[in-house]
A and B are shown apart, each in its own frame.
Chain A
Amino acid sequence: MSSLSSSPAFNRDIVALEGVTKRFPGIVANDSIDLSIRPGEVHVLLGENGAGKSTLIGMLSGLQQPDEGRILVDGKPSRITSPRHALALGIGTVFQHMMLVPTLTVAENLLLGGPWWQRPRTEELEARVAEITGSLGITVKLHAKVSELSLGEQQQVEILRAMVRNSRLLILDESTSMLTPKGIEELGALMRRLVEQGLAIVFITHKLKEAAAFGDRISVLKLGRKVGEIPPERFRALGEQEIISEIVELMFGRQKDDPEAVERPVRAVDAQVTPLLQVADLRVAPTDNAPGLSSISFDIRPGEILGIAGIDGNGQKQLAEALAGQRAATSGSVRLEGAAIEALSVGERRQRGLRYLTDDRLGEGTVGTFPVSINFFLKQVGAAPLWRSGVEQRGEIDKRAAELVREYDVRTPSLKTPVARLSGGNIQKVLLARELAEGAKVVIFNKPTYGLDLANTLASRQRIRDTAARGLAVLLISTDLEELLSMCDRIAVIANGELVGTVENAEDARTRVGRLMIGLAA
């Protein structure tokens, strides 16, 4: 470990990313990202869920390989082939979920991964741990069972484990998500002491306050791209509030060179028309891994686009599923054209004209191994004319599918191609074709452009505008504020499963929605 003295090596990157790109089927998770990680700095990676933080960590810790670009370790291009290799290079990772064996003691956990033919070197470990903990001012009970420790203590053990293995770069993935406020403060102080010893830390979070309080340098990720960086010099010059507002600007603001920014054509929605969709006091009970919904109320008129903005994971998916009938609501009413539909099944709601375009295209939107043609009609299996008395009419299906392929410009080698082999944009076109088919009245779009490239993003947005122009009611759920501002008539903000405010999409909508999203009054 280098000392704090200003040796020339001190300000050189330990690890640098150059134009790193990682693709998954249908999604560009990281799009040519540059990053420099230096000793003595807490480098905060900030972004919403799905911004590409976890993928980036996966590549740094050897779990995944970049498709393009390169990773430099100490200035030399390196392939980090496995977690073991990452550790050998001095890159230690503390993952979001604890990776300790709860039934073993702390010491035993720290000794895991040593050579199997040797006796565990307990004395050596104790001396090493005493040295590290002494310098960091923490105490660790080596002989306590991990299951008896608090989550904060377990995290210290994980950090200690990385230190025992001589890590020079410590990656903390969403480390504060399970900690108490006091635990978070302690972690912040610990990070400070670690970087003072010359360590580099990458701290991943989606909480702005923590980023401003603990960081030296902030990189903001948005939909797989790095949209901005605040270097240490600037960071020190700004106050906490200024930093937060600058981050908000980076995360939600308009980019100067953003080619997607299209002015919203002004449409007049007649306020007198009866709403197509009326939701009143909708309530959903929380589950183990998802927030509930409470007192959700809104109306959408024909031809209107209502946007739902908010940080990802605040109940957007639950809202969409409750409306579509996939998730049971505990109370509240949902009316379509004035008729109550909250007691109907998924299929009956679709029959009435309520369509839900899911954000999970491969997970639930399609059956990946089935041909493109069948995936167009997954939601109308058995319906005439494609099925007659329950028997598949292959000719009819192929004919209709070929029409949809042409109409929606789906680029597929053949109708028989398994849909999972298509790119994300083309899978999305299949879903659009399916949900916008005849009979649609109200369409829920959940993150319709998530993970798509520019051309497909623009095409999807145009489809949504056309949908509204046809007189349908549109609910557009998105974490991309730009998208909402360019398309919606009104924008409601969801936080912790509640609609905290609704804003007319006028001049000042950007700042008002942005403030609502981070918990300030509009």
Chain B
Amino acid sequence: MSIDTAPPAGATALDATSGAATRRDIMHRLLMTIGPILAALVIAGCILLAVGVDPLAYYGYVLEKGLFSPLGIQQTLTRMAPLLFLAAGLIVAFRAGMWNLGGDGQFLLGAVTAAASAPVLVQILPAWLALFCSFLIAMLVAMIWSLVPALLRAYQGVNEIITTLMMTFLGTSFANVLVKLVFRDPGTTVPQTRTLPVEDRLPRLFETTITSGLLLGLAAIIIVHLVMTRTAFGLKLRIVGANPRAAVHAGLGVPSLTIAVFAISAGLAGLAGAVDIIGVQGNVRADWNPAYGLAVIPAVFLARMNGFAAIGFVFLLSVLSIGGESAARRLGVPNHFTLVLVSIVLIVLALAEYVDHRYNQSRKA
């Protein structure tokens, strides 16, 4: 094998060659990411043509409403706040090899408990402390909700994809029940929680409508990224994710790490719910379920679980969803076309990955 004949590596000799290699690697990554996205836009354009919509007009509206108009970009950035928290939670779980697909249930329970607690707490506590407590409660409730799949996975090896998905159905229904039966605002006829007054919500940034939750979201995802890549705890989680048997062999407490992963991931999803309520919505209406949790998963995959790349893809997702809503209204394309677009991107990306892998294999052989 050729590796055998390489000289023993000295630390100094390594860095000169690896610099160029890293640059080539980054270029390759960019090409492998942007190429498929452009291809997906073309394919989605063909679908639009097939249903009789001018794709250029559609993309034009999306960009104009989601990116270039002042109001649109503010909405886009506001939408990013909960999505960033969710993405942060998914990064922790996915890097540790655990597929927490229960984000929506955890998100809604966090949202409902935040919506129920915040209007009460602001009356008895200073505003900042009240909001902090609401965040905390939302996080804890979501963490507790993740205990069932976490314990089942840690001690019984039950597949968490199935348990978290099932728990998400229960969670959304339970959140609904809470709104209708327990936390219902007696002052309104529609079933919803009491509304947090606008002045008590998270402050807006400067003179815009952008919520300061965006900063919290950015902080969350950057902290998660640094913890996962730079700390011993993050490395332990990545070992569990990359090779669970090696984790056992190295003496890591896999069950307790598993529970920690679920708690962190779900806690961040609960915070996502809280930041959306306390920052933007102010209350939760019954049957409200934006399904952000599932929408974020492709973005995290596209980013290959890298926190900084995830910020970019979450931004893209926000532009698409805000712009897509507006373009849908004007051109009569269903609102869900955004999801069609995102899924086409994902499929094309997977295909590109496969082709690239085969190409590398055949070149090696």
Do A and B originate from a single complex? yes
- Residue pair A364, B6 in contact (C-beta under 8 Å): no
Closest to A25 in B: B1
- Residue pair B8, A406 in contact (C-beta under 8 Å): yes
CB-CB under 8 A for A367 and B3, given A390-B233, A402-B10 = no
Q: At the interface, yes or no: A83 with Cβ under 8 Å from chain B?
A: no
B185, chain A: closest CB distance, angstroms = 45
Contact of B14 among A387, A411, A414 (CB under 8 A): A414
Contact of B249 among A326, A348, A412, A423 (CB under 8 A): A326
CB-CB under 8 A for A413 and B8, given A326-B248, A358-B249, A392-B232 = no
Number of A-B contacts defined by CB within 8 Å: 109
Selecting from A374-382, A472-480, A501-509, the interface stretch reads A374-382
Q: At the interface, yes or no: A368 with Cβ under 8 Å from chain B?
A: yes
Closest to A401 in B: B11
- Residue pair B14, A415 in contact (C-beta under 8 Å): yes
A423 to B4, CA, bound (A): 7
A323, chain B: closest CB distance, angstroms = 13
- Residue pair B239, A426 in contact (C-beta under 8 Å): no
User: In A339-388, which residues have CB < 8 Å from any B CB?
Assistant: 345-350, 356, 358, 360, 363-370, 374, 378-379, 381-382, 387
- Residue pair B246, A366 in contact (C-beta under 8 Å): yes
- Residue pair A379, B3 in contact (C-beta under 8 Å): no
Q: How many residues of A contact B (CB 8 A)?
A: 46
Q: At the interface, yes or no: A421 with Cβ under 8 Å from chain B?
A: yes
The interface residues of chain B lying within 8 Å CB-to-CB of A402 are 9-11
A363 to B246, CA, bound (A): 7
CB-CB under 8 A for A347 and B8, given A368-B243, A391-B231, A413-B3 = no
The interface residues of chain A lying within 8 Å CB-to-CB of B3 are 411-413, 421-423, 426
Closest to A372 in B: B9
A380 to B18, CA, bound (A): 27
Q: At the interface, yes or no: A405 with Cβ under 8 Å from chain B?
A: yes
Closest to B18 in A: A414
CB-CB under 8 A for A391 and B230, given A326-B249, A378-B246 = yes
A406 to B250, CA, bound (A): 24
Q: At the interface, yes or no: B304 with Cβ under 8 Å from chain A?
A: no
- Residue pair A367, B242 in contact (C-beta under 8 Å): yes
Q: At the interface, yes or no: B236 with Cβ under 8 Å from chain A?
A: yes
Closest to B248 in A: A326
A499 to B253, CA, bound (A): 31
The interface residues of chain A lying within 8 Å CB-to-CB of B8 are 405-406, 409-411
Q: At the interface, yes or no: A39 with Cβ under 8 Å from chain B?
A: no
A360 to B248, CA, bound (A): 13
- Residue pair A423, B1 in contact (C-beta under 8 Å): yes
- Residue pair A347, B236 in contact (C-beta under 8 Å): no
A447, chain B: closest CB distance, angstroms = 15
The interface residues of chain A lying within 8 Å CB-to-CB of B232 are 381-382, 387, 390-392
Contact of B248 among A346, A399, A425 (CB under 8 A): A346
Q: At the interface, yes or no: A416 with Cβ under 8 Å from chain B?
A: yes
The interface residues of chain B lying within 8 Å CB-to-CB of A366 are 243, 246
The interface residues of chain A lying within 8 Å CB-to-CB of B341 are none
Q: At the interface, yes or no: B286 with Cβ under 8 Å from chain A?
A: no
B1-36 Cβ-contact flags toward A at 8 Å (1 or 0): 101111111110010011000000000000000000
Q: At the interface, yes or no: A325 with Cβ under 8 Å from chain B?
A: yes
Q: At the interface, yes or no: A398 with Cβ under 8 Å from chain B?
A: yes
B233, chain A: closest CB distance, angstroms = 6
Contact of B9 among A367, A390, A405, A421 (CB under 8 A): A405
- Residue pair B251, A325 in contact (C-beta under 8 Å): yes
A65 to B340, CA, bound (A): 42
- Residue pair A364, B251 in contact (C-beta under 8 Å): no
The interface residues of chain A lying within 8 Å CB-to-CB of B239 are 367, 370, 378, 381
Q: At the interface, yes or no: B245 with Cβ under 8 Å from chain A?
A: yes
- Residue pair A411, B6 in contact (C-beta under 8 Å): yes
Closest to A321 in B: B249
- Residue pair B248, A381 in contact (C-beta under 8 Å): no
Contact of B4 among A345, A392, A411 (CB under 8 A): A411
A220, chain B: closest CB distance, angstroms = 27
A399 to B9, CA, bound (A): 12
Secondary structure class of chain B's binding surface, majority of residues: helix
- Residue pair B6, A413 in contact (C-beta under 8 Å): yes
A269, chain B: closest CB distance, angstroms = 30
CB-CB under 8 A for A392 and B235, given A367-B243, A411-B8, A422-B3 = yes
CB-CB under 8 A for A364 and B243, given A402-B10, A409-B8 = yes
A350 to B248, CA, bound (A): 13
- Residue pair A379, B251 in contact (C-beta under 8 Å): yes
- Residue pair A412, B235 in contact (C-beta under 8 Å): no
The interface residues of chain B lying within 8 Å CB-to-CB of A374 are 235
Most chain A CB neighbours (cut-off 10 Å) among B248, B251, B253 = B251
A46, chain B: closest CB distance, angstroms = 29
B223-255 Cβ-contact flags toward A at 8 Å (1 or 0): 000000011110110110011011011111100
A406 to B10, CA, bound (A): 7
The interface residues of chain B lying within 8 Å CB-to-CB of A367 are 239, 242-243, 246
A426 to B3, CA, bound (A): 9
CB-CB under 8 A for A392 and B231, given A367-B246, A369-B242, A381-B250 = yes
A301 to B251, CA, bound (A): 26
B244-279 Cβ-contact flags toward A at 8 Å (1 or 0): 011011111100000000000000000000000000
- Residue pair B251, A412 in contact (C-beta under 8 Å): no
- Residue pair A363, B235 in contact (C-beta under 8 Å): no
User: In B137-196, which residues have CB < 8 Å from any A CB?
Assistant: none
Contact of A365 among B17, B233, B249 (CB under 8 A): B249
A358 to B245, CA, bound (A): 11
B254, chain A: closest CB distance, angstroms = 11
A374 to B230, CA, bound (A): 12
A412 to B8, CA, bound (A): 6
Contact of B245 among A363, A392, A406 (CB under 8 A): A363
A379 to B236, CA, bound (A): 10
A361, chain B: closest CB distance, angstroms = 10
The interface residues of chain A lying within 8 Å CB-to-CB of B250 are 346-347, 378-379, 381
CB-CB under 8 A for A381 and B243, given A350-B251, A413-B3, A426-B4 = no
B85, chain A: closest CB distance, angstroms = 23
The interface residues of chain B lying within 8 Å CB-to-CB of A325 are 251
CB-CB under 8 A for A413 and B11, given A358-B249, A364-B248, A365-B249 = no
B45, chain A: closest CB distance, angstroms = 37
Closest to B253 in A: A345
A428, chain B: closest CB distance, angstroms = 13
B292, chain A: closest CB distance, angstroms = 30
A8, chain B: closest CB distance, angstroms = 40
The interface residues of chain B lying within 8 Å CB-to-CB of A356 are 249
The interface residues of chain B lying within 8 Å CB-to-CB of A411 are 3-9
Most chain A CB neighbours (cut-off 10 Å) among B6, B11, B242, B250 = B250
The interface residues of chain A lying within 8 Å CB-to-CB of B9 are 402, 405, 410-415
Which residues of chain A have a CB within 8 Å of any CB of chain B? 325-326, 345-350, 356, 358, 360, 363-370, 374, 378-379, 381-382, 387, 390-392, 398-399, 402, 405-406, 409-416, 421-423, 425-426
List 6 contacting pairs A-B, 8 Å CB cutoff, sorted by A. A347-B250, A390-B232, A398-B11, A412-B3, A416-B18, A423-B1
Which residues of chain B have a CB within 8 Å of any CB of chain A? 1, 3-11, 14, 17-18, 230-233, 235-236, 238-239, 242-243, 245-246, 248-253
Other A-B contacts than A370-B238, A379-B250, A398-B11, 8 sampled, CB-CB below 8 A, are: A369-B242, A381-B252, A392-B235, A399-B11, A405-B9, A406-B8, A410-B8, A411-B4
The 9 closest A-B pairs by CB, nearest first: A346-B251, A347-B251, A382-B232, A402-B11, A364-B245, A364-B249, A414-B14, A367-B243, A387-B232
